Structure 1
Amino acid sequence: MASRIEQIIEEIEEYIDGCKYQALSSSKIIVNKDELEELLNELRSKTPEEIKRYQKIISNKEAILADAQAKADAIIAKAQVKTDELVSEHQIMQQAYAQANEVVMIATKQAQEILDNATNDANNIRMGAMQYTDDILRNLEISISHAMDSAKARHENYMSSLQEFYDVVSSNRAELNPAAEDAVSDNTENLPKIDISSDMLK
């Protein structure tokens, strides 16, 4: 069953795939800022929950080992009771001791096998949880990187468009009044610089 983080990432991918392309462009799309931010906020809020969930799975290793130890102790205790019953019979004392030792050896072997299997299972669960968490974080890292690249590209395209419009306006004014071209150049050098940040483009 897919985690909520995986579902949100799929929703973001589906949303981006469903966006319309910008006019006269085959690579730029138009996104709804509020919808995209809503998905990203939910992704941000769910990430700690998923990580805690898999930390809890890892912590279950101790519970698995404790349960295996309890089963092993129960087997050994049962074997000890059987040993006591056997040695209480004087007429079969030697046979009882031999049977008791065999039962204890078998019980000890079974207990060790249970402990070994439980340890392997716990380690496999821990490694699987860590790998799954790392995969989630890697996908999140990739999504954030793509979002940053997209924002940077939009900012650069916007600045390039403004520069083109500015050049056209300046050229038209120069053609209308060539004598004022030098004065315009001097005046524009004294104008304050306007910083258009990426926040203004959202």
Structure 2
Amino acid sequence: MANDVNRLIDMLYERIEDAKSPALKPNMSMVDRDELLDLLDELRAQLPVEIKRAQELLSARDKFVEDAKRDVDRMMRQAELDAKTKVSDSEVLYAAKEKARQMVARAEERCRQLYQVTNEYAEDALARTEEAVQMALDEVKQQRVRFRSASAAKMQEQRDKLDGRTPPQEDGGEE
């Protein structure tokens, strides 16, 4: 149809260019009026179809552009949402790693403190135990000395008895 319209316009140009000029009016041309009117009628008949087709193409183009804009807007919103989600995920991951690092640092510090307190407690307990054992050993040594002394005295007394040398009894008793 576009070719029909272009063909009709070309035919009009040819007729006008081929038209003869009257002798006294060189800027004017004489054409077959009926022939040109027939071409214009045919052109007029074709133009609404072409215009309608052009309008449909423009409408289709506008719809395509609107759909494309909507798709681009939707893709941009989705991309922004994805980017925000990734940034958010990244921030959450960073925050989690930082919190984990802080927890590990606190646990290590607490472990060092507990180790130090435990060592101090064990050292103190061992020192007290050593003192108690030393005091008990000193007591045992004193008791041993007393025991030896008492035992030696008793043995001497027994020997004296056996030898007949009985020392006088203190309770004023018999013998």
What interval of TM-score do these two structures reach, taking the shorter chain for normalisation?
0.3 to 0.5
TM-score by length of 2: 0.47
Structure with larger Rg: 2
